[in-house]
Amino acid sequence: MKLVIENLTKTYKNGVKAIDNLSIEIGTGMFGLLGPNGAGKSSLMRTIATLQSPDSGSVTFGDINVLEDNMSLRKVLGYLPQSFGVYPKMSAEDLLDYFATLKGIANKSERNAIVKEVLEITNLYDVRKKHVAGYSGGMKQRFGIAQLLLNNPKLIIVDEPTAGLDPAERHRFLNVLREVGTNCTVIFSTHIVEDVKELCNEMAILNGGRILKHTTPQEATNDLMGRIWEKTIGRDDLEENEKLFNILSSNYNQDNSLNIRVHSLEKPSDDFASVTPQLDDVYFIALKQDEPVLTS
Ligand SMILES: Nc1ncnc2c1ncn2[C@@H]1O[C@H](COP(=O)(O)OP(=O)(O)OP(=O)(O)O)[C@@H](O)[C@H]1O
């Protein structure tokens, strides 16, 4: 089912316009919403999840008018907020059984079956008897996915789920999400470019409440072929190079020299070498082009 957002705007009481006349269509599969802190990712997700109302605009999911019919959307929605709050001292199994009851699954054997299924999908079956309060960060996030799967959602929204996870836990989490996302619409927000690269078939870069780019990771990097250049400079030469070239990123080498990556249609100077574009380059270019142009 397709999620269609048209001319959505949200201004908070303090005057911050967190979503600015945003329009986008999102189809089935894993959709990555990439943007820096404060870009408006959570605001957009909370609005789609019917937890807050926008000033104007429309949101539809299939034939559901999301803003006018919150309840119909909630029946097919699985939402994992940025922080899930405090967990009681209950085992994962008991807590999921409780959530399943709240979600209206009255029949005990039906509940047992779905609880077992979501524990298996999220690789928590072996630790189902342990208290969720004692779970590691990654296990808690996977538990968050388990709870949202209880009502077999068609639209899944997860808000920065990998923030703070160690690399092994992050991989485990992404694998679970990949499996879950095969036959529904998953919107996944992150400020980690690598998450999107590993997981998503489609993506958007968000900043200032606006979509800067809507693309696929493959297409975005292909478009930059022959336009990303690298050279090594001394660490004291960065400022001078910044004046000459459109530097996207710089990384220290072990000998304290710097590799700079530059975006240019042509070879910037003889000492640059052409390199394979990465998704980071796409992200930095989009954000750079969004910077206000200073005139003096
Ligand atoms: N409840 C609120 N009241 C007032 N301003 C808010 C509120 N929530 C968010 N904002 C502001 O709206 C803008 C967008 O915030 P939002 O949390 O949606 O961004 P984000 O991309 O999710 O960022 P982060 O990665 O930091 O969570 C920011 O300037 C933020 O300070």
User: Does residue 182 register a pLDDT over 80?
Assistant: yes
Q: Ligand 1: which of 14, 20, 41 to mutate, judged by most atoms within 8 Å of the beta carbon?
A: 41
Domain end (from 169, 196, 216): 216
Nearest CA to ligand 1 atom 17: 42
Partners of 232 in beta bridges? 259
Share above pLDDT 70 across residues of the chain, in percent, rounded to a whole number? 98
Nearest CA to ligand 1 atom 25: 37
Mean pLDDT of 227-233: 96
**Residues with Cβ within 8 Å of residue 185, at least 6 apart in sequence:** 1, 2, 3, 26, 27, 28, 29, 31, 61, 154, 155, 156
pLDDT at position 292, please? 67
Same domain for 137 and 234, yes or no, is no
Same domain for 265 and 152, yes or no, is no
Mean pLDDT of 13-29: 95
Same domain for 203 and 66, yes or no, is yes
User: Does residue 291 register a pLDDT over 80?
Assistant: no
Same domain for 191 and 268, yes or no, is no
84 CA to middle of ligand 1, Å?
Answer: 17
Mean pLDDT of 239-245: 92
Of 82-86, 91-95, 146-150, which range is least confident? Answer: 82-86
pLDDT at position 274, please? 96
User: Does residue 71 register a pLDDT over 50?
Assistant: yes
Same domain for 193 and 235, yes or no, is no
Share above pLDDT 90 across residues of the chain, in percent, rounded to a whole number? 78
Classify 223 as helix, strand or coil: coil
Ligand 1, CB cutoff 6 Å, lining residues: 12, 14, 16, 18, 35, 37-43, 160, 191
pLDDT band at 296 (very low <50, low <70, confident <90, very high): very low
User: Does residue 213 register a pLDDT over 60?
Assistant: yes
Nearest CA to ligand 1 atom 6: 12
Same domain for 20 and 140, yes or no, is yes
- Give me the domain span that covers residue 237: 226-276
ipTM for the assembly: 0.96
Task: Give the separation between CA 123 and CA 140, rounded to whole angstroms.
Answer: 12
Nearest atom (ligand 1) to Cα of 160: 25
Counting the structural domains of the chain, the total is 2
Same domain for 56 and 97, yes or no, is yes
Same domain for 106 and 195, yes or no, is yes
User: Does residue 198 register a pLDDT over 70?
Assistant: yes
Residue 221 inside a domain? The answer is no
Domain end (from 191, 216, 241): 216
Q: What is the pTM of this model?
A: 0.90
**Residues with Cβ within 8 Å of residue 260, at least 6 apart in sequence:** 230, 231, 232, 233, 238, 241, 245, 247, 249, 250
**N- to C-terminal Cα separation, the chain:** 49
What pLDDT, in 10s, does the model give residues 36-53? 999 999 999 999 999 999
Same domain for 50 and 162, yes or no, is yes
Q: What is the mean pLDDT of the chain?
A: 92
Q: Ligand 1: which of 10, 11, 12 to mutate, judged by most atoms within 8 Å of the beta carbon?
A: 12
Q: What beta strand segments (E) does the chain contain?
A: 3-11, 17-26, 29-34, 56-61, 64-65, 77-80, 155-159, 185-190, 202-207, 210-215, 228-233, 247-252, 258-263, 273-274
Residue 283 inside a domain? The answer is no
Mean pLDDT of 69-89: 87
**Residues with Cβ within 8 Å of residue 42, at least 6 apart in sequence:** 82, 159, 160, 189
Nearest atom (ligand 1) to Cα of 163: 25
pLDDT band at 191 (very low <50, low <70, confident <90, very high): confident
User: Does residue 293 register a pLDDT over 90?
Assistant: no
